Amino acid sequence: MNKPARRDSGFTLVELLIVVAIVAVLVAVAVPSYISFIQRAKETTVQAYMGKVRKAQEVYRFSDPAGGFSGSFDDLETTGFVEPATGAVSRIENDYRMDLAAGISSGEPFWNILATPLAPNPKAKYLYIDQTGYIRYAVGAPAGPTSPVLPR
């Protein structure tokens, strides 16, 4: 009596190795793109927050009898442009620490914010804005008034 040929079902080791290799290549391409996307989203959110602070500073200056800017995020909350949060001089937004400074230099009032990334990422941008309204950036080091202007 002849036995029918046995048919094995399933995948061979070679087929499984090929699939694992393909998945590894896809992950190697996708993960850096995803991390870059997340970083850009954080930077965009911080830039939007800086824009709100700029508007709040303009309103604050017009309402201040001395015509100066505020050095406190808490003061800027009263304008309605900045959301209430804790921290008068520094705020944490989307893994960035934002430090606000204000005062008078050469007889002119000034203000600025330096946004520093909290997570170590060599491609993360440091952001800076002042009374001129331009957001400036630097990669790998803090930005300042002479840093390049961020394209709008």
Q: Is residue 65 part of a domain?
A: yes
Residue 92's closest CA among 119, 65, 71? 119
Q: What is the per-residue pLDDT for 148?
A: 95
DSSP state of 8: -
**Would residue 3 count as lying in a domain?**
no
Q: What is the pLDDT of residues 131-144, one digit of tens each?
A: 999 999 999 899 99
Q: What CATH number does residue 100 fall under?
A: 3.30.700
CA distance 141 to 108: 27
- Domain contains 100: yes
Q: Give kind and range of the element (H or E) at residue 57.
A: helix 13-63
Comparing CA positions, the residue from 72, 104, 108, 78 lying closest to residue 91 is 72
Q: Across-strand partners of 108?
A: 105
- How many domains is the chain built from? 1
Indicate whether 17 belongs to any domain.
Answer: yes
Domain assignment of residue 104, yes or no: yes
**pLDDT attached to residue 24:** 95
Cβ neighbours, 10 Å, residue 100: 22
- Residue 69 included in any domain: yes
What's residue 1's pLDDT?
62
- Give the structural domain span for 99: 13-139
**pLDDT digit string, tens, across residues 15-33:** 999 999 999 999 999 998 9
Residue 4 lies in a domain: no
How would you write the pLDDT of the chain (152 residues) with one tens digit per residue? 676 666 667 889 999 999 999 999 999 999 989 988 998 999 999 999 999 999 999 999 999 888 899 999 998 998 888 888 877 789 998 899 999 999 998 989 999 999 999 987 888 899 999 999 999 999 989 999 999 999 87
- Residue 92's DSSP bridge partners are 97
Residue 113, domain member (yes or no): yes
Two tokens, residue 129? 């804005």
How much is the pLDDT for 122? Answer: 84
